[in-house]
Amino acid sequence: MNLRDLKLDLPGTTAFYRGKVRDVYSIGNRLMVMLASDRISAFDVVLPEGIPFKGQVLNQTAEHFLRATASLVPNWLLDSPDPNVSVGLKCEPFKVEMVIRGYLAGHAAREYKSGKRILCGVHLPEGLNENDQLPEPIITPTTKASEGHDEDISREDILKTGIVSEQDYLILEDYTRKLFAKGTEMAAERGLILVDTKYEFGKDSEGRIRLIDEIHTPDSSRYFYAEGYTERQKSGEAQKQLSKEFVRQWLIANGFQGKEGQQVPAMPSEFVKEVSERYIELYEHVTGKQFKRRPDSETPEMLTKRVEDSVSRL
């Protein structure tokens, strides 16, 4: 079954949206069905090749953490009838993503290396090295772009432009810090460091703010192995990590960072397989569960029937 571009024929669909990675079906005005595809994106561009089992990893990792944090922060999930599918409450998303960082890594490290010492209105101390732990976790929001690149934005600009009201933003900040603290604790239990992550929130039909989309997955989060972290920092070695950062690094090495005029390089089949195995490794390491690959014999009709049955029960 092609889980890169598959479109389900779901009765009762009132709207359909294809994102970079997920396909979202609105069922009436209350429910939403989210299919995690095998598409992969980097630098806000969908890459030509699909990654086998990637969607399953994303969906099942997100389900694991959504259920583990439901008592802490309300979320949208009601059911997961298929390895690649979640069904939940339809929410109106806020037009910002709440990025929180405990370490100077990825985009933040690249900005710091370029000389910047203020990121999204947050002042960073001098003398930091890439992958150093920050004095305390910082929130560095981005705008939520429907197309093209998400952009860094400060708390002050969010409030000044009215993208989010101050009352709601205080809740988003509180929920973000609570989720990151819980994610950090759960990662430590698995011998990992939750380096940074992003959360998306929305309001349900009753006006309640809920965590939506994914949480603590390899697409939204970066993990380091805790063992050897300090030694690697002292010696200036790269950290051993579980995330899709290695895909970004491969693209950079092959001349692509999503900039105008750059051509997306084709990923060799061996690299596609490596990416798939890395995603599966992350799922097993982060959740402590064995990954069960969905059988090749599954058909779109079988998947559709399971989703239909789930929706009818909710």
Over residues 207-223, the pLDDT tens digits come to 999 999 999 998 899 99
71-108 burial, b if ≥16 CB within 10 A, otherwise e?
A: eebebbbbbbbbbbbbbbbbbeebebbbbbbbbbbbeb
CATH for 13-92+274-313?
3.30.200.20
Amino acid identity, residue 233? Answer: Q
pLDDT value, residue 2: 81
Those residues whose C-beta lies under 8 Å from the C-beta of residue 253, and which sit 6 or more positions away, are none
- Give the fold, CATH level 3, of 94-242: D-amino Acid Aminotransferase; Chain A, domain 1 (3.30.470)
* Confidence (pLDDT) at 144: 80
The predicted structure's pLDDT at residue 131:
97
The domains spanning 13-92+274-313 and 94-242 adopt the same CATH topology: no
- Which sequence spans correspond to the domains of the chain? 13-92+274-313, 94-242
> In Å, what is the CA distance from 69 to each residue of 5, 42, 179, 180, 301?
31, 27, 7, 10, 32
**pLDDT reported for residue 242:** 83
Question: Do 140 and 101 form a contact (C-beta atoms < 8 A)?
Answer: yes
Structure tokens at 157: 């600009």
Q: How far apart are CA 91 and CA 144, in angstroms?
A: 15
Give CA 268 to chain center in angstroms.
24
Query: What confidence tens digit (pLDDT) does each residue in 16-60 have?
Result: 999 999 999 999 999 999 999 999 999 889 999 999 999 999 999
Q: Are 233 and 99 contacting, i.e. CB atoms less than 8 angstroms apart?
A: no
Rg over alpha carbons for the chain, rounded to the nearest Å, is: 19
- Please enumerate in sequence order all residues whose Cβ is within 8 A of that of 71, keeping only pairs 6 or more positions apart, or say none: none
Q: Is the dihedral of CA 35, 79, 198, 153 positive or negative?
A: positive
Find out whether 150 and 143 touch, Cβ atoms under 8 Å.
yes
Measured between alpha carbons, how far is 260 from 256 in angstroms, rounded to an integer? 10
Percent composition of the chain: helix, strand, coil (DSSP 3-state, to 5): 35, 25, 40
**Mean pLDDT of all residues in 151-176:** 97
Compute the distance between CA of residue 65 and CA of residue 186 in angstroms, rounded to an integer: 9
Pairing of strands 96-103, 241-242: unpaired
pLDDT in tens, 252-282: 999 999 898 999 999 999 999 999 999 999 8
CB 208 within 8 A of CB 171: no
DSSP E strands, 157-293: 192-203, 209-212, 221-225, 241-242
Q: Which of the residue ranges 5-14, 94-103, 130-139, 224-233 would you say has the lowest mean pLDDT? A: 5-14
